Amino acid sequence: MSAEASFRPVEEPEHGGSLSSVGELLGEISEDISTLMRQEVELAKTELRQSASNASKAGGMLGGAAVAAHMVLLFASVALWWALGASIGRGWSALVVALVWALIAAVLAAVGRTQLKAVTGMPQTTETAKRIPDALKGK
């Protein structure tokens, strides 16, 4: 069998068009990737808007709950003040209620300070963002 006998010309694709060059194929791939990236960005924006909307509604509800809880604490404190006032006097009972709230504030401040010292930032997000350029380069 000779080399000429085994050589067959490349057949054209069935869709009737001519063979695309490598440059045209790379151009199409680049365009498709660009379109995909734009669509992904638009999807992310839409999801972010929806999440922000839901978060703002939830934040409003939590704010309203915080105001209501503050009012409950205020009136419960006044009731405790008046109840203690019947036995130890109004002045002393006001001081006792104030000291209870000072103790609660000190404990909350100490716990909050400890938790604040433990915060190190966003290491996972930072590392992921740093890896994106390497992923695009194929590393």
Taking the mean position of all CA atoms in its chain, how far away is CA 138? Answer: 27
Cα–Cα distance, 126 to 13 (Å, whole number): 47
Cα–Cα distance, 52 to 46 (Å, whole number): 10
| Percentage with pLDDT > 90 across the chain | 27
pLDDT interval class at 65 (50, 70, 90):
very high
pLDDT, residue 128, reads: 62
**CB-CB contact of 93 with 84 (8 Å):** yes
